[in-house]
Structure 1
Amino acid sequence: MAAAFGGLLSLPSWAQHWTPETVAGSPLLSALEESTLADLAETIIPETDIPGAKSLGVPAYIQKIVNDCMDTKAQETLKNGLYTVSDLAQKSSGGKTFSGMDTNQRLNFLNQLNAGADEETKDFFKLVKSLTIRGFTTSEYFQTNINHYQLVPGFYHGCVPVSTGK
């Protein structure tokens, strides 16, 4: 009992050191892989008159979901797929990285990647595409500005008049 109470007393001192960097845990991807993932997400949902996937933090969402909520097979699918994208992009574009391609080249490359015969690559693209869409549609911007989500449902407007008591 005393140990639990002592732990509660020390809670504020160690909880104040929680930051996004310390809570994030071990990174799943390298800086190059993160950049490739961000550009993939931005190619799937580009920035137009509304924010794109990159500016809404979708790549961080994808990484967090895969790292914390999915099994090691999905984590390997993501890492191997990002390596494959980087490798195939350099081979097909004469040495350019995926990030170095323009938008049309990226779209053509992703269409070829999706149409390819390799099941692992298709699984990777399906994973990234679905998580990008989910990350975008669950973002605060989408929910408040496009979906017009309200935390509390609208008012109740009854159809029966109620008289006040006398």
Structure 2
Amino acid sequence: MIGELPKTIKVGEKEEPIRTDFRDILNVFAAFNDQDLSVEEKAIVCLRIIYKNIDEMDSSLYMEAYEKAMNFMEMNDSKKDSDYNEPKLMDWEQDEQLIFSAVNKVAGTEVRSFEYMHWWTFLGYYMGIGEGLFADVVNIRQKKLKHKKLEKHEAEFYRKNREMVDLKTRYTKEELKEKEELKRLLGI
């Protein structure tokens, strides 16, 4: 029905109840960013977070359930596989404070204070973000990725706020151990 926010996803022949609060979806994205989880483990975390009754679902439906969960998280936007290979311009965890500040401005209130907010409502606010600090940061990231020259004020902002603008590289536990061992060997 027009204007209704989905609370179920049809998997197989059954409407499966799902978790729709924006915090749940952000937890899925946090799992997707976890370098210590395999692709399969990330998919399992996604299914366990999204579907309330995943343990009752026939495992032969897991792939369909995963694809439909991804569609739900993207507001049914059908993305091509090539879209997923694009360089990231934002990170839900790293940019959390910038994102919430911008979303709160659009919503006119502190959205984290709500006990519940449907993911699509939150995403609607997110898509309404206009000019501001978060948009400036993303714009600079985009220009840098495309090797475009920054305007004078952007270059100045970047010099002063490099930590905020540069997306952090995420390392697995093993990679971090290797880096620490190398530092130890080099006496750094």
TM-score calculated relative to the size of structure 1? 0.26
Larger strand share, 1 or 2 = 2
The TM-score, its normalising length taken from structure 2, stands at 0.24
